[in-house]
Every structure is written in C-alpha cells, then in structure tokens.
Structure 1
Amino acid sequence: MLLPWQQADWARLAQQFDRLPGALLLTGAQGIGKDRFARFVAQSLLCEAPAADHAACGQCEACRWFLAGNHPDYRLLAPDDERDDDKPARKLLLIKVEAVRDIIEFAQLSAHRGGRRVVLVEPAETLNLASANALLKILEEPPEGVHFVLVAHRPRRLLPTILSRCRAFPLTPPAADVALAWLETAGVDNPEIELARAGGAPFALTDGARVPLREKFAAVLAHPDAQAILVLSGELDRAKLALAEPLDWLRKWLHDLLAAGTASPVRYYPDHAAAIERLSHRAPAVRFARFDHEIVALAPYGQHTLNVRLQVEKLLFDYQQLFAGTR
C-alpha cells in the first residue's frame, strides 16, 4: 500500500508504466518510504488484475503470493547477515557477488505465471565492486519480461555504468503537515520535534529503538562529558548500528551549531536550541566546518557495523576537544 504522500509519485510513474525500462532506479532521501514504494511497484508489475492506473489490486492470486512473501517470480537482492557462532549477528551490509549470481540464474528462467519477473535491489549502494559488475552484465541486456527495481539513498555511490543502465525516478519527500499527520497515527511521541530531527523523513522514526538512542546522542552533544561518551558508545555498539547513523546525527548537530552562530534558526534539534546557542559561541565556526569535513571523509565507511564503538568514541572525544580551553 502506498503512503499518503506517494500518490502523486505513483501518478507520474503510472503514465509510463507500459514503457518501464528493464531497470528502474528509485532515489530520494533516506526515510521517506522508498522501500514501501519499490515493493508496491514490484507488486503492481506482478499483479494479474491491476487497476486502471496500473496499481496492484491486492486481491488476485499473484498479489496474495507477493504479500505473503512467496511469489515465485519475485526476488529481493539485499545485504546478507554475517554470523559468527561466538558473537551476536551483525549486518555485513554488503550485497555479495554470490547473491547476484543467484539472481542472474533466476532472471534467465521462464516465469512461473507466464508474466513478468521482478528483482528488487535495496539498498543498491551496498553492492560492492564485484557484485556491481556482475549485476551490470544482466542490466546491459535484461531478459524479456524481467524488471529490476533498484533503491538508492545515495545514488552517486553507484558505479557510473550501473547508473547509465537505469532510468532514475526521484521520489518526493512528504510535506511537513502530511508527515506529521501520518506520524500521529503511527503513535510517535513529540512528532514535530522528532520529524525536525529526522530532517523531514518520517520513516526514520518508525524504528522505536532508534529514537531513544538519538535523544541520548543529542544529550551527550549538548553536554560532552567523557564518562557519558563512553557509556553512549557502548549502547550504540550493542544496538549494532551502522556508522552512518551516528554520522548523520552528528552532522545535523554541526549544521545547527553553524546556523546558530549566524543567528539562523536551528533546524534539526529545536528542543536543544538553548544548548546549541550556548555551544555555538564557545568555538570558532571554522572548527565546526573542519570537523564536519572529517565526518564527511568517513561516509564511505558508513555501512560498516564493526568497530563502531571505537569510531564513535573518537568522534565524540574529538567533538569535545572543539571546546577545549573555552568557557
């Protein structure tokens, strides 16, 4: 089912539904529901009784199979779990070349229902070089009736050759009032504050375990204490977060620090505006900008979950040092 703010995007896509390419790339900010939209596209491609606007009916046998997760003509290509008998499971967060080879074999088979076959790839930027090159071979000449739907939060991290084989379809972020109404029905506490913190991306708030961690992270940034940094780093490590999440939280905080220093409104952490205002005058803006560049340099490692504790500890202690010698 589409989200309330996705109706206009669906109407745009429906106009070209009969002319969809072999590879469609859905792009847009993380947390706006691209995965939900992609699955609806896949279901609609497989639906045997679609509506006039090509939307899946939700009632036919193909739709029931898809919703139950066992449609024979659908495959999901996503990162695998890395497991160790002596350690908790962690996300490897890379799509392996072996998984791509399985998809290629699937794509070369005849459809069970005599219609289309669909492969959803998400997030596409977790393809490593080997798996991306393997996928490229079939994207260059996709078999008849096979559709690849790729989802990317950061499409610039994809190989240029992958990008050139896909038709990009950017999804629109929701208007604030629409997102707030949806969050209220989802039972999110303090939706205005949380939506601001998520940069207007409501789906980033649907994981209830993340919201308390974000708040603890913000509290440490507001009052950077060594003991609190160590405790928080341990909690983030136990939560098995990818490094990208604390990097994102920290960059948003720095954005607000720089904004406050120029008397601009705080965007992401309005409930910490007083602390941000106070801290913005305790160090020159050039320090914040330089630290932000250091964080950006870590972006290529954002999907890693190993050694997150050490990375976060270093970042937070470096952040603490921004204010060293100031009062």
Structure 2
Amino acid sequence: MVVSTLALWPWQQAVLPDALRALTSPAALLHGATGQGQLNLAFQLAKAWLCEGHPEPGGMFDDSPAEPELRPACGQCPACHLVDTGYHPDLMVVVPDNVVPRVGWPHLEEALDKADKGEGRKRKLSPEIKVDAIREVVSFSQSTVSRGRAKVVLIHPADRMNTVSANTLLKTLEEPPGQVRFILSCGPLDDVMPTVRSRCQAWQMPSAPAQAVAPWLAEHVEGLSAADASALLAAAGGSPEGALELMAMGWSAALWKSLPGDLKAGRVGAWGQWPLPLLLSTLQKLAHDMAREAVGAPALYFPQAALPQGAGLPQVTAWGQELRKAMRHAEHPFNAALKAESLLFQARRALAKA
C-alpha cells in the first residue's frame, strides 16, 4: 500500500480548516503524537497558502473591507498543480535524506541522486537535517516571490535539525523576510529545541481516532480485516504511519500476537533481523504491557491473552530500565547482530518466570 504524503487522510479533513484559522504567524510549528500524519497536514497548509484559486487574506483579490477566510487549496489552479508535482518555485520542502524515499516528491529524489553522483557513490541516508540544507533555506527565503502569493518553507521533522542547523535558521525564523512563511512539523513538542520553539506559533494536531483509522486501513489494504487493522494500529501505539510501516515490513496481527510467546520460548526467527531501534521499541512495548498486567491494568500494545502471565513487577521494571538504557545507543554503529542477540537473550531471561 502506498499512501501519499500529498493528500489529507480522511480524519484530517476537519482538522485542516482549524489549523488554517489558528496558524496566523509567519513561523508555525505543527506538532502532535508521533506518526499522526503531520507531514500530510503541513503540506496541505503550505498548499493552501500558495493556492491562487481563492481570495488571499488581506483583500488582494477581494474588494470587500472584510478579510476573506483562508480556505483549503482548491486543487485546480496552476499553483496547486505545481505544488502537487513538487515544482512550485515558491515552495521549499526540507526533510532528512532517509525520509525522501517515502515522501514521493520528484525534485527531492532528483537532488538526492545528484548528490550521490557528485560523490561517485551511494551515500548512507542521513536521519538529520544538515546545515547545508538550512543554508539553502535562508538563501531561498531572501529571494523574490515568483508567483506573487507567498514563499513557503516546509521543514519536517523539525526535531531532526541538529544544533548547528537550528542555530543557522534562528534569525530567519524570528524575522521571516517579506512574504515568507515557515511551517515546521514534528512529533512531541518537547523534541524540538527550545530556541526553535520560542520563535514559532505552536499548534497541536489532534491524534487520529482509532475508530476511523482501523476501517480505513482495512479498506485500503488487501486481505486485512478490521480486527487485524485494529491490532496493528495498537501495535504501533495508535500511529497510522507506524501501522503502515509495520505492514510494509510484512507484519500481521497473528505475527504480533505470537511475539511474546516466541520470545519466551526462544523462538527468535525474524526478530533477530530487525533494525535495533525497532527491536528495542518492540521489547519496550512488551515490558510496558507486562508491567501494566502486573498491576491489573489493561494492555496497550499487545492482546491481553498474548502476554506471559505471572511476571513480578520488580522483574519487569528492571527489564524496562535496561531497555531504556539500551535505547540511548540504538543508532550506535556496533555489531548489530551481536547486540540483537544480547537483547533477545535478555528478553528470554526476563520472561523466564512469567
């Protein structure tokens, strides 16, 4: 299943007008729980600001004294077409290299290919927004508007800017020149540097309702039942993007349900081949649910019946603490296979008395 980052998801249709009314600052920061489609909504905000098919707030195309309310993009005008194809001269989109493949904008992919050819090799895709990209943003913001509406810079995820990148942007973000608007999007607001947060108007995007996401997933993914969609959505912590990523990796509800029992029995299988951040995140979810089960609370991520029974709270808590320490170094370039083997042995030991 390919889900476009250009289009709003159904449950976001009612959110966009609220965001357009609320975000009036030249520098806006859209945030929310991880994986809720922030990039989709940020893109549609940028598209609305550039749309030439409706009156511009401020009366540019309206003789009435009252300012018209900014509406979602019409989708039909030349500006909307240019935005959809990724070649609007007044729109700049900045994402980390490792996000480019799932975004689907041709000019971003072309820039990545050009950089690879320039170095004569295929580079490792960076998870950070580097300072060179932000320098291009500053230069872009200082140039003249091409189509007369505005210039828009979209940066996602904003928390991926390193310290040097963020510091390079601060002055421009604080005083955007001319008709420039910034839309930064991210997960939790606390992940963004305070110096960046303080220069933006923050707006929290509502989380997607599970009762809307699960049927949508079941409708668009061949062979996926509503029950399985709900299970995978729970596995992803309620994140639609997370659920889509799990399905893209071949996960199923049955696979997720069998994971605790397989770990306890030492049946590793595919678990040992997962990227370390994903493996650690999964083990943390299991430890979290087992801690909840130990105090009589319902599980959040796994089916209750799939959890090993009888684990003591101190034992599970200690395991969770070990996992949190390991997560701090999940991106460290040590031997991934050995680290995964160590984590799975640790999990089996923690589950042994359950």
Partner residue in 2 for 1:12: 18
In the comparison of the two structures, how many residue pairs are matched?
313
Choose which of 9, 17, 21 in structure 2 pairs with 1:3.
9
- Structure 1-normalised TM-score? 0.84
Tell me: CA distance 1:195–1:96, structure 2 relative to 1, closer, same or farther (3 Å): same
Q: Which amino acid aligns with 2:272?
A: S
Partner residue in 1 for 2:86: 69
Mapped to 2, the partners of 1:33 and 1:42 lie a distance apart of 15
Taking every aligned residue pair, what percent have the same amino acid on both sides? 31
Matches within 5 A, 1:164-179: 164-179=198-213
CA deviation string 1:46-105 (max 9, x = no partner): 111138552100011000000011111111111125979999764320111111111111
Mapped to 2, the partners of 1:314 and 1:56 lie a distance apart of 51
Partner residue in 2 for 1:160: 194
Q: Which amino acid aligns with 1:318?
A: Q
- Structure 2-normalised TM-score? 0.78
CA deviation string 1:247-293 (max 9, x = no partner): 332222222111222232222111xx3341xx241x32122223323
3-state DSSP class of the match of 1:223? helix
- 1:217 to partner: Cα distance: 6.7
Choose which of 261, 280, 303 in structure 2 pairs with 1:222.
261
Tell me: CA distance 1:309–1:139, structure 2 relative to 1, closer, same or farther (3 Å): farther
Partner residue in 2 for 1:113: 147
CA deviation string 1:202-227 (max 9, x = no partner): 23222332352897576444222797
Partner residue in 1 for 2:160: 126
- 1:163 to partner: Cα distance: 0.8
Unaligned runs of 5+ in 1: 238-242
- 1:303 to partner: Cα distance: 6.3
> Is 1:210 equivalent to 2:210 in the alignment?
no
3-state DSSP class of the match of 1:255? helix
Partner residue in 2 for 1:25: 29
Equivalent pair of 2:256/2:302 in contact (CA under 8 Å): no
Partner residue in 2 for 1:139: 173
Partner residue in 2 for 1:257: 290
Choose which of 308, 320, 329 in structure 2 pairs with 1:292.
320
Q: Which amino acid aligns with 1:292?
A: G
Tell me: CA distance 1:199–1:73, structure 2 relative to 1, closer, same or farther (3 Å): same
Q: Which amino acid aligns with 1:158?
A: V
Choose which of 193, 199, 202 in structure 1 pairs with 2:237.
199
Equivalent pair of 2:42/2:154 in contact (CA under 8 Å): yes
3-state DSSP class of the match of 2:152? strand
Mapped to 1, the partners of 2:253 and 2:176 lie a distance apart of 42
Mapped to 1, the partners of 2:325 and 2:154 lie a distance apart of 30
Mapped to 1, the partners of 2:331 and 2:178 lie a distance apart of 34
- 1:311 to partner: Cα distance: 4.1
- 1:145 to partner: Cα distance: 1.2
3-state DSSP class of the match of 1:206? helix
Tell me: CA distance 1:296–1:166, structure 2 relative to 1, closer, same or farther (3 Å): farther
- 1:199 to partner: Cα distance: 2.1
Equivalent pair of 2:129/2:162 in contact (CA under 8 Å): yes
